[in-house]
Amino acid sequence: MSRVAVEDLIDRWINEPSFRAEIRQDPEGAVRRTGLELTEDEWAALRNVDWQLSDEELTARANMGA
Amino acid sequence: MLLDEAAVGVWAPRTAAAVLERVDHLVGELAVTPEQARLLRQALVGLRQQALGDPTEQDGLRLFVHYPLLVHAAVSGDDAPALPLAAATSLLFLGIDIFDDLADSDLPEHWNGTPPSRINLAAATLLSALPQLAIDALGTSAAVRADLQRIVADGLLRMSAGQQEDLGQAGAVAPEPADVEASVMAKSGEEIAMFGLLAARLAGAPPRLSEAYTEIGRAIGVAAQIASDCYDLFTAARSKDLANGSRTLPIAFHLQHLDGAPRKAFLALIDAARTEPAARDEIRGKLRASGALRKSAVVVELWCQRAHRLLREARPLEPAGERIEHLIESVSFFAPPSDSSIERAEETACLGSVAQRSGRVGG
């Protein structure tokens, strides 16, 4: 998966309420159904993403990076 | 061995203080004149602020101090022999940081009233003399010391090339996200990669393991810088990047999908945000709504997961491995909060204060 594919995934999350609901319920299944081919690191990253977080909660998680 | 003594929230500030003490001692010992010592100690004020930072956040872990210590312990089982090396990496970090601040006209308060020519002199001395002498004083073989000196020279050369490329793109109105990420990799990534390689070689790691800790450092350095850029943009009381008109990753993600009039309007907004707080708020709102923050957070996670995988493959000795995991998680947007950070958050809430952080990443 390229960065462009990651961006497309997030764009769908932003623009398609049905995809947002789908990914919140079953993140791995929702991503698999897009047909994207992911590397081990990319799967690990997408599994670790908390899709339930609101924009405000995500902003609050911004850190200054150690 | 310092690592076994305490929890990370105690170990991190304690070792940072020990490294600062060593750096101060080096300045006292090596400065040629009292005036030079004074100038360098003025610079060390900035290092002290960044190394000790805000104790309510992130367990006080700082890449430029703690990553070399942890890599050494992950390879050899002991962090203590790497304290003098952490002094050298801290001096390198400080020199690079001062040059960055000079370039961005964003010098911290302790430089008030000091002419730029003197600040430039301090940064040049920190970068080109003290770390090399600190490495020369390490209690290891001449061959290892020569190897470490070569790693520093090579790392600085690579970072210089990255900076030169960055300067070439400085006039770019709307850089592509991939270009922004490549720039972060060439500077912050390269810096922490260099620190990892130095520590691994000092610990006697074979080439494959040295390469692993180099690449783990690169991944953490990139993740930390992008996370720091998001913090600057969305959370900091005053965004240095918006004040400078810098196009960091969230801005690049947002611009990527704009054409025509909306693109022109957003670029005008970025210009206005240099001076107008209302424009900054508007930018933050637009970036959140377009998913630019979320995309940036996922990119941070991709680099964090790469670092996690490489670390598992490197099979670090414990407890250093666990601490490096902790360091990686401290830059992720999605890592569960640690018990100690929950306790600190509760203490902060009890005191009725909100922790405000500012500053640059250690890479």
pLDDT tens-digit readout, A27-39: 889 988 988 878 8
* B 173-212 → A contacts, CB under 8 A: 177-178, 181
Which tens digits make up the pLDDT trace of B283-329?
A: 999 999 898 999 999 999 999 999 999 999 999 999 999 999 999 99
CA atoms within 13 A on the CB side of B76: 19
- Cβ contacts below 8 Å, chain A against chain B, sum to 117
Which tens digits make up the pLDDT trace of B158-215?
A: 999 888 877 776 567 788 898 899 999 999 999 999 999 999 999 999 999 999 999 9
Give B115's contacts (C-beta < 8 A, 6+ positions apart).
Answer: none
Nearest to B298 among A10, A14, A61 (CB): A10
Q: Do B299 and A10 touch (CB under 8 A)?
A: no
Nearest to A48 among B62, B289, B334 (CB): B334
DSSP SS3 for B113: coil
Q: Is A8 on the interface with B (CB under 8 A)?
A: no
Q: Which residue has better confidence, B124 or B347?
A: B124
Closest residue in A to B324 (Cα) is: A66
Closest residue in A to B357 (Cα) is: A64
Which tens digits make up the pLDDT trace of B9-22?
A: 788 899 999 999 99
Terminal-residue alpha carbon distance, chain A: 28
Nearest to B331 among A41, A45, A65 (CB): A65
Q: Is A46 on the interface with B (CB under 8 A)?
A: yes
- What does the mean pLDDT of chain B come to? 88
Torsion angle, alpha carbons of B138, B361, B57, B119, to 10: 80
Q: Do A48 and B256 touch (CB under 8 A)?
A: no
Q: Do A66 and B331 touch (CB under 8 A)?
A: yes
Nearest to B295 among A6, A45, A59 (CB): A6
Reported for A23-28, long-range contacts at CB under 8 A and 24+ positions apart, including other chains, are A23/A51, A24/A51, A24/A52, A27/A51
Burial B323-333 (b: 16+ CB within 10 A, else e): bbbbbbbbbbb
Residue B1's pLDDT is what? 64
Residue B360 has pLDDT above 90, yes or no: no
C-alpha distances in angstroms, B46 versus B13, B32, B288? 16, 21, 32
How many residues make up chain B in this entry?
363
Q: Is B362 on the interface with A (CB under 8 A)?
A: yes
Q: Is A62 on the interface with B (CB under 8 A)?
A: yes
State ipTM. Answer: 0.90
d(CA B238, CA B356): 11
